[in-house]
Amino acid sequence: MGLRDLFEGPHAVILILVVVALFGWKRLPDIARGLGRSMRIFKSEMDEMNTGGTTTFSAGRSHTAEDEAGRERADERHHAHGREREAVQAEDGRLD
């Protein structure tokens, strides 16, 4: 049984059920988003290493400080939303 067999037939269903049981439906989008962000960072770092210091995205745009600032603002908005959600959940917990 190889790695390829894990993703075929009933093995795939069991694998999906285990992932959902471990993380829950609500956390899966956040996990996927974080994984995608990590893969994008890893790819850009590998490209930078291979090109000798100039990072480019697959669309051919150069990586600029403006792009990085935009990503940081988006991350901050995401974290702020998470803090708001936690505050609401905490209030709901006190009301019970």
Structure confidence by residue, pLDDT tens digits, 49-75? 998 765 455 555 555 666 666 777 777
| Sign of the torsion formed by the C-alpha atoms of 47, 29, 20 and 88 | positive
Give the bridge partners for 56, in sequence order: 62
> Is a pLDDT exceeding 50 seen at residue 95?
no
Rounded Cα distance between 60 and 27, Å, is: 33
Rounded Cα distance between 33 and 14, Å, is: 23
Tally of CB atoms within 10 A around 57: 13
Per residue in 13-58, pLDDT tens?
888 888 888 888 888 888 889 999 999 999 999 999 998 765 455 5
> Is a pLDDT exceeding 80 seen at residue 86?
no
pLDDT score recorded for residue 65:
61
